[in-house]
Structure 1
Amino acid sequence: MDFKRLRILRELSERGTVGATAEALKVTPSAVSQQLKTLQQELGVVLVEKSGRGVRLTEAGLAMAGAAADLSTAVARAEATIDLYRHGRQTHVRAAFFPSAAEMFLPGLLHRTKEIDGLHFEAHFQDPAVAGFAGLTADYDIVIAHSVDGADVFARRGLTVVPLLEEPLDVALPVGHPLAEKEALTAADVVAYPWMGMPEGFPFDTVVRRIELQADTPVFRAQLFPDLRVLEALVSAGHGLTVLPRFTALRNQDRGFVLRPLEGLEASRIIVALARPDVAARTTIQLVLAMLVAEAQSVAAAPGLSDPPHDEGQNQERRSKM
């Protein structure tokens, strides 16, 4: 049984099509098909069958793809053990960040990764809806992901999930808005105002939907834009309310908005690091994941971030009236 052919089967199970598998492995689609055909002949069972214009894995194929993932993990652990003795490590790590995670973690993380001699840490921008993060682990060593529904959203996909931090999601209001006098807001307080929202599938839109359910009233989504800095600008200009992550937004309140916590409903996101189990078993990846955890702890421990942001907002309002 050829490990390389098993890897092709595993990639097909992850990526769904022969074309995507060939692109990931930098071979031709015909080469993928031929290797899968040879693997089927070696094993004596059907692993792949036609489905419309494409293919799908049979029950046996899915089982062997899972076994291939387990084998990859075992090989990676063996290589990590050898690394401890020969001092050889992976020298190039690729990681995917969504924007606010990069803003929070990347500056400090790059200082930390310099401690690993010879390591080139390469950060990439990715900002999919929640369902899209798991698939990115096929192309990156580490993927930073977020969800308002907890880490189980990703653990169910068979990935290694490393919790980094839980971040409150607050309502952003223009400076001087009537609701800014309140220390905390309820769904009933905010549901009647226009909203600057995120497209469906993004965590902040989920919070808005919870507001709608709690108030039993739909909100008016005046604009949908998947960029936090644009949302900050729209709120600051007085166009409506939005949901923002506290740890990054607090640093930007001088733009003309204030933050108020929501009460009576869940309004926070969990931020995690994701990796395939075999990748997470590598020595260098373990070191980088530990550095990510340390950096997240440093971010969460920064003064004023864990408390509701009312006082700073009042100061901002007072400054705006001077």
Structure 2
Amino acid sequence: MNKSFILSTGSYLPKKTLSNDEIALKVETSDEWIRQRTGITQRHIADEGELTSDLAVNAAKNAIEKAKILMDEIDLIIVATTTPDKTLPSCATIVQSKLKCVNAFAFDVQAACSGFIYAVTVADSLIKSNNRIKYALVIGAEIMSRIVDWEDRSTCVLFGDGAGAMVIKSATHFNEITENPTRGIISTNLYSDGNVDILCTNGGISSTGDPGKICMNGREVFKHAVDKLTASVRETLKCNDLKIADIDWLVPHQANIRIIEAVVKKLNLSMKKVINTVDKHANTSAASIPIALDNATQESKIKPGSFGLLIAIGAGLTWGSVLLCY
């Protein structure tokens, strides 16, 4: 069977930042309150003229440059986003147009904060079933600041804007699989439960005619996140006959340091193995995992041949994991 593996990663964060102290000027909160409950110190905010596709393109160019491939070599583009430029066409086709990836087919995936996990799973499946695909470009890109209620301190402190990208390569056309047969995406799992009310927006195109603002039951989200992410990891380990000690690094969805710490504690995994960047960019939804992964690779925290997990949970509720050998 064909196999896919990560060739490169890239990321992009808007230049403008918003500190906790600046948020405290808008709502009743403080830097200390936000840090203690979330681990966040700042978030990046897109400029008024910046679109989600612009963030995605910048992250994609970063990843493609590292991959040392040409735009017309990309066969597939998937963009995971909750905040596309337009209702139609897809953000992925807009990205395709801006990059001039003339030989690719492109589409969006919407699974909220789990979107990148879903997108990687779809790309991996398509590569395995379609020998025509040599390179897939998978992007998570969000401008969450435009669906945040800036008068709601329980949610506005949590979110930021950004994009992360990954170039995934098919092993069929290359020799890497013979050089290191364990390298690549080993397995993925996806779940959803239809629990749609604890994390949602209060609007939509067919209901109110606008995207609405984020509404969240924080306590319920926390409880579900810890239980479901822990169960997802354990299921992945069981299916692959692995133990938690076999995992060299973990890239969790960068939503809240308390969720990350609670999951890690239940798994009995050392925090030293956890990639944590939530303090720098807050919750960027579908973009958070590829941003964190790119940050870790730049800092050489992830070594070739090491085993790692990507895990996320988002509105829906949707959740899942990706097990890979880097």
Provide TM-score, normalisation by structure 1. 0.27
Bigger relative contact order, structure 1 or 2, given CA contacts below 8 A and separation 6+?
Answer: 2
Higher helix share: 1
Give the structure with higher Rg (CA). Answer: 1
Provide TM-score, normalisation by structure 2. 0.27
